[in-house]
Amino acid sequence: MDPRAGELTAPHPRLTNLQRAALYPWTDDGQCVVREASNEWPLLAERCFHALERDRVRFRDVTKRCAVAYADAAAPAVVALCVFAAPEIVVGAVIVVGAVVVAAAIQEGIDAYQRNASRERAKLKTQPRPAEEPLTNRTPKPETSPTEDFFPVPDSNPRRPECEAIPVPRASRDDPHNECADKFPPNRYPGMDVSVGGTRFDALQVGVRVLWEIKTHQFDKYNSFVQEMEIKKELKQLRKERAIAVACGYDFVVGVSTQAHKAALLKEDRFLTIVVTGCTR
């Protein structure tokens, strides 16, 4: 049966996402959230995490589910995104420091929904009910929600095409290295590298926008001269990869086999995110 005049339906998922995102500070004035709001919250969170003003947000894994999913808590960005992308709002999991002014783009999206919903309710109140037709003469109509007209799905993907992660054949023929890249992050595309911005990465982590570079060579067994040369070579590569990842909205993590390797890299660049994988050769 037709809904009664003035009858309210459940909030549109897009509106629910906008209202949830309004609780947090955004560096892009909420543009990414508005663009992705028609998706499920976990996907929106993954795609827009780079635009979250993380200096003002604290993440607490109160349910411990992220600790189970991502055993190595040395990658804080990974755990933070896991907490933030939870489908449900968990009390105390995401804490914002200071007052939040709703981002202009998000507020505009919420206002647009409310204006259109008001007009739709007004139409329902004034629209005369058609005379009943015999059931045999009725033509089934597809079920649609009035709010679908308010928030049409974009015709094209506004994301930069070169920033999409494309699986490509492995560049390395080193089996222990490739096994580590598949199992540790873990890799969204097992047996494949991913190309982002024309650069290969060893893995794109399952469920989050995190690109990985894996190192499994026996760094600890090199003499000091070779270690120094190796670190210089790696830093040149890692800084280039990090810059491309960040520019495309990904976090970047380096996986190394030993604590000594991690310490040597951090000594030269403390802004790298490095995880000790323990992968052996």
pLDDT digits (tens, 9 = 90+) for 191-232: 999 999 889 999 999 888 899 999 998 899 999 999 999 999
Residue with tokens 């893995």: 203
pLDDT digits (tens, 9 = 90+) for 149-182: 444 333 333 456 778 899 999 999 999 999 999 9
* Rounded-to-integer distance, Cα 211 and Cα 168, Å: 14
Residue 8 covered by a domain = yes
Q: Give the pLDDT score at 126.
A: 66
Residue 239 confidence (pLDDT) above 70: yes
Residue 161 covered by a domain = no
Residue 86 covered by a domain = yes
Same domain, 140 and 14: yes
Residue 175 covered by a domain = yes
Same domain, 197 and 128: no
Residue 24 covered by a domain = yes
Q: Mark which of 100, 118, 150 sits at the end of a domain.
A: 150
Same domain, 98 and 222: no
Lowest-pLDDT choice from 30-39, 52-61, 126-135, 209-218: 126-135
Q: Give the pLDDT score at 147.
A: 41
Lowest-pLDDT choice from 45-54, 69-78, 159-168: 69-78
pLDDT digits (tens, 9 = 90+) for 105-129: 999 888 888 788 777 777 766 666 6
Per-residue burial over 34-43, b = 16 or more CB atoms within 10 Å of its CB, e = otherwise: bbbbbbebbe
Q: Give the pLDDT score at 167.
A: 93
Q: Mark which of 122, 150, 178 sits at the end of a domain.
A: 150
What residues make up the domain containing 229? 166-276
Same domain, 272 and 177: yes
Query: For the chain, how many structural domains are there in total?
Result: 2
Same domain, 54 and 144: yes
* Rounded-to-integer distance, Cα 255 and Cα 278, Å: 9
Same domain, 124 and 194: no
Q: Give the pLDDT score at 73.
A: 47
Same domain, 12 and 99: yes
Same domain, 74 and 129: yes
pTM of the predicted structure, to 2 decimals: 0.48
Same domain, 139 and 198: no
DSSP letter at 157 equals -
Report the percent of the chain where pLDDT is more than 90: 43
Q: Give the pLDDT score at 263.
A: 95
Quickly state the pLDDT bin for 64 (edges 50, 70, 90). Answer: confident
Residue 160 covered by a domain = no
Residue 157 covered by a domain = no
Residue 104 covered by a domain = yes
Q: Which helix (H) or strand (E) holds 255?
A: strand 251-256
Q: Span 47-64, mean pLDDT?
A: 88
Q: Got the DSSP string for 71-116?
A: --TT-HHHHHHHHHT-SSPPTTTEEE-S--PPPHHHHHHHHHHHHH
Residue with tokens 């969204």: 188
Q: Span 219-246, mean pLDDT?
A: 93
Same domain, 258 and 204: yes
Same domain, 140 and 176: no
Residue 55 confidence (pLDDT) above 80: yes
CB 79 within 8 A of CB 59: yes
Report the percent of the chain where pLDDT is more than 70: 79
Same domain, 194 and 253: yes
